[in-house]
Structure 1
Amino acid sequence: MIAKRADEKKEFTGSYTGLAKYILRADKKETIAAGWVTNCGFEDYPAAINEINAVQAMNTRGNENAKTYHLVVSFPAGEKPSIETLKAIEDELCKKIGLGDHQRISAVHDDTDHYHLHIAINKVHPQSHNLTEPYYDKKKLVEAAKELEIKHNLRKEIDWENPKGINHQKGRGDKSVKVNSKARDMEAHTGALSFHSWVQDKKPDLLPKVQAATNWQDLHKTLAQYDLTIRPHANGLSISSRTQKAYIKASDFDRNTTLKKLEDRFGKYQPPTPSIKDLTPVLQYKLSPKQTGKAVNTQFAIYQQQQQSKKAALEAIKEARKQASAKLAKDYQERRESIKKDRLLNIKFKRRTYQLLKQTYQQDKVRLSTDFKQQSDAIYQQHPAKNWQDWLIHQATQGDKPALDTLRQNKPANSKPVERFAVWGEQEKQGMHLLKRLQPKVQKNGDILYQAMGVKIRDTGKRLALDSNQEAAIITALRLAQSKYGNHLDVQGDVEFKQKVVEAAVATGMNVTFADPDMEHRRRALKQQQPQEPTPTKPKTRTQNKPTKDQGR
């Protein structure tokens, strides 16, 4: 379990209403899995939001943008605690950071790889109207999460022995590298290799050269070969790219590259000389995918080409809009000057003409803005992906199997299935298998999420996982499994689930067999009990006797 304070999004910074609508999915087609209101006089969401806004308005001393706290609690893939457990976890976490008595709205989302809980908390106390700022909340949330994992028998999500949030993960070339929490979040969001990971990946070659440096200029020269530079930042040093906006703390690279230790070796910091600044690097950081393989490189090249086309099209629209706006403004000024210089018009008529001209000018500006916005929207609709991972998801949703395979490289190699109910086969058939009528939603790790009669079916590639044993979902899962794996299936679940699977297969007439001997025996028995349809017989045709010679006389 991971509990952390979420970064505020620009669209609802400081707005409790905006945050509440975001977590409740008020403006989206998706629905939340569950939700509730705490410490409010109303259970209805709109009424509770109005009440919280009224309480926040009672505090006139605090910053308007600092009255809301967004807490997110995430669970490992496949783990879905009960609502009672979620409420207990929420209460403990809020108490731990000093916001236990505060008003809040909570919403559970289950449309991603990880089941997670959003909590929108009002930091203004409902009775005292004082603004409570939870200092050192990160440390307190980590301590609480550790205790709650043990208390509620939850799976361990992070390494509690690592207080700085630096995780070891598999790097390029199967190397283990240290990645801090921010870089890990960036990689999880975009699917691209972070600058932090790239520097750590080069550390085995770079660190001995850094340790061999005898002065600041030697160090700058060594770093320049990797298109890096070291410079003062805040109270220490940072290692940054010379050509891109990317940097890490020098202490994150190695504990011996802090400001104090380097100044103990080389004296007071010295910037690089112009000759070192002009050195051509041997290696440099470039945006690249985390995944590896020839097919991935081909896909990434297509992605970058499409992104360049998108950027060029948007720049062209921006320039055209700029020129059109300038032409419109120039035309307005020229027409206004001509009216001003016309001596045949009296002051009253000129004033009225100015008003009409300005009104027309404003209408033309609105029309111009609308036209160019429609053009921009068309570009975004044609290229909806914001980053590499979004592009892969978009391609996979369109039926691109290689893109789906690339996404599935994001899965941990040793991840164990934790679903209660699942169906799978020995080997997946070639090609892409999507049930379009169920509106499949591709996840960041390559799982495909279906929804049948309110039940989620997750296609992980190797198996189809269900979160319920409802009959409609079982039938849908069996049809999808038959199309993916063939007619011989394996099933995971309790006795009741397996019995329902067998009954559904027989009732729908599916031509499938089961690897479980008991299930297969049950299937054959049920099939024999079914009434046999009589085989249709060919109706006898009446033959007419041919008349003899004596007939008809």
Structure 2
Amino acid sequence: MIAKQISMRVAKRSNFGELVQYIANSQNKHERVEQITVTNCYQPEYIVAAKEIMAVQQRNTRAGSDKTYHLIISFPAGERPTNDTLREIESKVCASIGFAEHQRISAVHTDTDHLHMHIAINKIHPHRLTIHNPYCDHKVLGTICESLEVEYGLARDNHQAVNRGKQSLALSMESAGGVESLLGWIRRECLAEIRAAGSWQEFHEALQHNGLGINEKGNGFVITDGEREVKPSSVARDLSRPQLEKKFGAFVQSSTINRQPEKAYQPKPMASRQDTTVLYEDYKLAQSRVAGLKSQRIGEARDKKNALIEAAKSEARQKRTAIKQFTQGVLNRKVLYQLTSKSLRDKIQTVNQQYRAESKVIRAGSQRSSWLDWLQKRAVEGDVQALSALRARAGNHSLANNNGFTDRTGDGGKPVVGLKPDSITKRGTIIYRAGASAVRDEGHQIKVSKVITQQALALSLNLAMRRFGPTVKVNGTADFKERVVQLAASEKLPVTFENPALEQRRKSLVSELKTQEKKHESDHRNRFAGGFHRLGRRSRIEQRVYGEPRKSNVARVGTRPPPQAKNRLRDLRELGLVRNAFGSKLLLPGNVFGNVEQQSAQAVNGLRREISESGRMMPNPGEAAARQYIAEREKKRTLIKDIPRHTLWTGESGQAEYAGWREKDGKPLVLLKQEESEIIVLPVNTETLKHAKYLKIGDQVNFDSDGSVQKTGLSL
């Protein structure tokens, strides 16, 4: 853990509101600002709290220094303390430098490889209105970081400052920009040869051999390559002017003619595992184009400004000529001249304001990018070479407690087609959004950050299979490994685990799942034996006794005739017929004998609903789809415990929390959560689904007995 103050070079440019706006800005990224904390303010919202803090700063009119203290606390790559731990660390670090009672706003950023926290602190005490400037804060911050690392079991870091001032700044720029600085190049390439010099002449020759020279400046020296300058004391303390004059005597200018150097400094990317020569040439070409386009647009804006000013001046001259020729009276001419001059000044001021605004827009859109920023942009656009160059800078930062997958034989990978990354870090980590969680693809390892949701778990496992093949290594906690194994077994994924215990667990779960499926199929066959329709209890008994179910009110077919029909045939007059003696009479139901079936309308079976079981109708298609979806979720719930129980909507009305929508066999379904562990599945029509897609997860809705859903008075 490292704590460092970011100071403003010009105190007047410091603005607490702009700092808070920067640290709280998500920059259209899901994985950037994780949490924002406001401390010692009356207002809990950071936007209003920032205005409150600026009002307190304005009440102090005596302080001339910067009234804002910008502190950054950064953690090693892969280390992820809990939110409670981060809040405790923030409180203790601020208290150690005397800001325990001061107002502050902090934000945790997770969009880089190093989780870090920005803390904007008001140096003006909210009650005493006095300013507090910590003394030797870098030493105090180093001491408190060491103690907090031990207290919370964090990775130990070096808190002894080796480089300060220009040395630290140059090395920080190398790390942030990825391009070797002149100071760093001299240290790595020339320092040994320069130190070996025994006189001023040899010292000059050593510098010229490397394309460098030394000049006097102020009370000291500067080493230059013709374009850039560095202080010799920044390269090494024994190269300061007092030390060199103590070693060689008074300074003597070089007496030799400048010779062609054998090597010279050229800005180039820092050493990595990949040759980036071609990419760096493309980068320089792109930057030169940006600079050329910027100069062209600025020139066009300047010419436009000059033309407008010249037109305004020409118009003013014409007005003065007209006033001189056609206006009578000295006083009248004087007044008109003043009005003309004022009009000219106003027009020139307006033109200059327009030019400054246009130039600001041009410069903002034509800024030069650093080498790493350019690689990031290319990687987001899908450039595999740029992504590989970013990852070639990274070392192995994996920690044992990281939840994820690892395989050193992976291909390094590229962004998955069809899956848009949330962002890409300067070390080539691709961050994918997965609901409330995030999946980080580092090429040779895939990690799940934040809360591990089922969606993030499925995404990370599928990425690992695509990146590393069918055999993967699972890292992390025991709970994470168990959830991965359960997911692989329930989804029947073609994956094997490198850990023998996990692989054995997966096989046992697959075996249990197959046994449950066989049992389910057997129960299904027994339940629906004899046809699609379910048989009632009486029908099943009759089937066992007689071999087939009996129809209601229909006698069983016997093997012997009734006594009155035994060994004889009935004649026509004994049959149950209706006699109509007169053809003109209307045949009424009373004329029909009781043993003759009355004529009725023919049955149209296409208008009847099928019977699934005794006294019960078949469900409509939406209900059938809902039952099928519920059966699938309940089947997975036996293996994955955090899946809530799903039940079918039974026609009741009430209030619930919107939990999403699904489509099963083309039938739309709406999910409603009334309890934490239960989901109601409601079949709806297409129009309702169209409006439900505009709802957000967690919205409170009302549902009626007719299946309609309402939110804030608007019916879906």
TM-score, normalising length: structure 2: 0.64
Q: Which amino acid aligns with 1:78?
A: G
Give how far 1:42 is off: 2.7
1:47 alignment counterpart = 48
1:164 alignment counterpart = 162
2:74 alignment counterpart = 74
Give how far 1:180 is off: 4.6
Query: Are residues 424 and 146 of structure 1, via their aligned partners in 2, closer, same or farther at CA, if it must alter by over 3 Å?
Result: closer
Structure number with higher relative contact order (C-alpha < 8 Å, ≥ 6 residues apart)? 1
Residue 224 in structure 1 maps to residue 198 in structure 2: no
CA distance in 2 between counterparts of 1:421 and 1:27 reads: 27
CA distance in 1 between counterparts of 2:422 and 2:134 reads: 40
Give how far 1:3 is off: 0.5
2:267 alignment counterpart = 287
1:551 alignment counterpart = none
CA distance in 2 between counterparts of 1:12 and 1:490 reads: 54
Residue 185 in structure 1 maps to residue 172 in structure 2: yes
The equivalent position to 2:486 in structure 1, one of 494, 497, 503, is 503
CA distance in 1 between counterparts of 2:197 and 2:431 reads: 53
CA distance in 1 between counterparts of 2:309 and 2:196 reads: 61
5+ residue gaps, structure 1: 167-178, 535-553
1:339 alignment counterpart = 319
**Residue 125 of structure 1 contacts residue 131 of structure 1 at CA under 8 Å; is this kept in 2?**
yes
CA distance in 2 between counterparts of 1:251 and 1:376 reads: 36
Q: Which amino acid aligns with 1:211?
A: A
CA distance in 2 between counterparts of 1:498 and 1:313 reads: 54
Residue 306 in structure 1 maps to residue 286 in structure 2: yes
1:169 alignment counterpart = none
Could you say what secondary structure the match of 1:69 adopts? strand
Query: Are residues 475 and 334 of structure 1, via their aligned partners in 2, closer, same or farther at CA, if it must alter by over 3 Å?
Result: same
2:244 alignment counterpart = 262
The equivalent position to 1:330 in structure 2, one of 310, 313, 329, is 310
Give how far 1:45 is off: 1.5
Q: Which amino acid aligns with 1:129?
A: L
Query: Are residues 519 and 241 of structure 1, via their aligned partners in 2, closer, same or farther at CA, if it must alter by over 3 Å?
Result: farther
Alignment of 1:65-464 (within 5 A): 66-158=66-158, 160=159, 162-165=160-163, 180-203=167-190, 205-207=192-194, 210-215=195-200, 217-232=201-216, 236-238=220-222, 240-247=223-230, 249-272=231-254, 278-292=258-272, 295-342=275-322, 343-346=324-327, 347=333, 380=366, 386-412=369-395, 415-425=397-407, 427-429=409-411, 432-434=414-416, 437-464=419-446
1:531 alignment counterpart = 517
User: 1:244-296: CA deviations, max 9, x gaps?
Assistant: 2341x4234344323222212333334556x65x5543322221001346741
**Residue 299 of structure 1 contacts residue 403 of structure 1 at CA under 8 Å; is this kept in 2?**
yes
Q: Using the TM superposition, name which of 444-453 and 314-323 deviates more.
A: 314-323
Give how far 1:392 is off: 1.0
**Residue 291 of structure 1 contacts residue 406 of structure 1 at CA under 8 Å; is this kept in 2?**
no
**Residue 107 of structure 1 contacts residue 119 of structure 1 at CA under 8 Å; is this kept in 2?**
yes
Q: Which amino acid aligns with 1:299?
A: L
Give how far 1:125 is off: 1.5
Query: Are residues 439 and 530 of structure 1, via their aligned partners in 2, closer, same or farther at CA, if it must alter by over 3 Å?
Result: farther
Q: Using the TM superposition, name which of 488-497 and 308-317 deviates more.
A: 488-497
Give how far 1:133 is off: 1.1
CA distance in 2 between counterparts of 1:14 and 1:368 reads: 26
User: 1:68-104: CA deviations, max 9, x gaps?
Assistant: 1011100001111122322322232223222222111
Q: Using the TM superposition, name which of 514-523 and 110-119 deviates more.
A: 514-523
Give how far 1:318 is off: 2.1
Q: Which amino acid aligns with 2:197?
A: A
Percent identity (aligned): 28
CA distance in 2 between counterparts of 1:190 and 1:251 reads: 23
RMSD: 3.2
Query: Are residues 12 and 501 of structure 1, via their aligned partners in 2, closer, same or farther at CA, if it must alter by over 3 Å?
Result: farther
CA distance in 2 between counterparts of 1:29 and 1:462 reads: 24
**Residue 193 of structure 1 contacts residue 289 of structure 1 at CA under 8 Å; is this kept in 2?**
yes
CA distance in 2 between counterparts of 1:192 and 1:374 reads: 28
CA distance in 2 between counterparts of 1:408 and 1:127 reads: 50
Could you say what secondary structure the match of 1:531 adopts? helix
Give how far 1:205 is off: 4.9
Q: Which amino acid aligns with 2:100?
A: G
Give how far 1:405 is off: 1.4
Query: Are residues 264 and 489 of structure 1, via their aligned partners in 2, closer, same or farther at CA, if it must alter by over 3 Å?
Result: closer
Residue 520 in structure 1 maps to residue 506 in structure 2: yes
CA distance in 1 between counterparts of 2:129 and 2:28 reads: 33
User: 1:457-488: CA deviations, max 9, x gaps?
Assistant: 11111111112432111011122222222333
1:489 alignment counterpart = 472
1:14 alignment counterpart = 14
CA distance in 2 between counterparts of 1:426 and 1:263 reads: 54
1:171 alignment counterpart = none
Could you say what secondary structure the match of 2:432 adopts? strand
Give how far 1:373 is off: 6.5
**Residue 429 of structure 1 contacts residue 486 of structure 1 at CA under 8 Å; is this kept in 2?**
no
Query: Are residues 279 and 336 of structure 1, via their aligned partners in 2, closer, same or farther at CA, if it must alter by over 3 Å?
Result: farther
Query: Are residues 111 and 522 of structure 1, via their aligned partners in 2, closer, same or farther at CA, if it must alter by over 3 Å?
Result: farther
Query: Are residues 6 and 497 of structure 1, via their aligned partners in 2, closer, same or farther at CA, if it must alter by over 3 Å?
Result: same
CA distance in 2 between counterparts of 1:494 and 1:522 reads: 20
Q: Which amino acid aligns with 1:198?
A: W
Query: Are residues 427 and 68 of structure 1, via their aligned partners in 2, closer, same or farther at CA, if it must alter by over 3 Å?
Result: same
Give how far 1:136 is off: 1.0
1:548 alignment counterpart = none
CA distance in 2 between counterparts of 1:473 and 1:409 reads: 27
TM-score, normalising length: structure 1: 0.82
**Residue 192 of structure 1 contacts residue 388 of structure 1 at CA under 8 Å; is this kept in 2?**
yes
Q: Which amino acid aligns with 2:284?
A: Q
**Residue 104 of structure 1 contacts residue 121 of structure 1 at CA under 8 Å; is this kept in 2?**
yes
CA distance in 2 between counterparts of 1:287 and 1:259 reads: 27
User: 1:163-214: CA deviations, max 9, x gaps?
Assistant: 4348xxxxxxxxxxxx95323311121011122221111136523xx43342
2:560 alignment counterpart = none
CA distance in 1 between counterparts of 2:285 and 2:497 reads: 47
**Residue 29 of structure 2 contacts residue 422 of structure 2 at CA under 8 Å; is this kept in 1?**
no
CA distance in 2 between counterparts of 1:520 and 1:475 reads: 16
CA distance in 2 between counterparts of 1:111 and 1:513 reads: 32
Give how far 1:527 is off: 4.7
Give how far 1:157 is off: 2.5
CA distance in 2 between counterparts of 1:118 and 1:484 reads: 34
Could you say what secondary structure the match of 2:108 adopts? strand
User: 1:1-45: CA deviations, max 9, x gaps?
Assistant: 101101338899321111122222277655521121222223222
Give how far 1:113 is off: 0.7
User: 1:415-472: CA deviations, max 9, x gaps?
Assistant: 4434431124564358623365443311111111122112121111111111243211
Q: Which amino acid aligns with 2:123?
A: K
Q: Which amino acid aligns with 1:196?
A: L
Give how far 1:300 is off: 0.7
CA distance in 1 between counterparts of 2:147 and 2:250 reads: 46
Could you say what secondary structure the match of 1:33 adopts? strand
CA distance in 1 between counterparts of 2:489 and 2:148 reads: 44
CA distance in 1 between counterparts of 2:339 and 2:286 reads: 51
**Residue 106 of structure 1 contacts residue 119 of structure 1 at CA under 8 Å; is this kept in 2?**
yes
5+ residue gaps, structure 2: 328-332, 522-716
Q: Which amino acid aligns with 2:35?
A: A
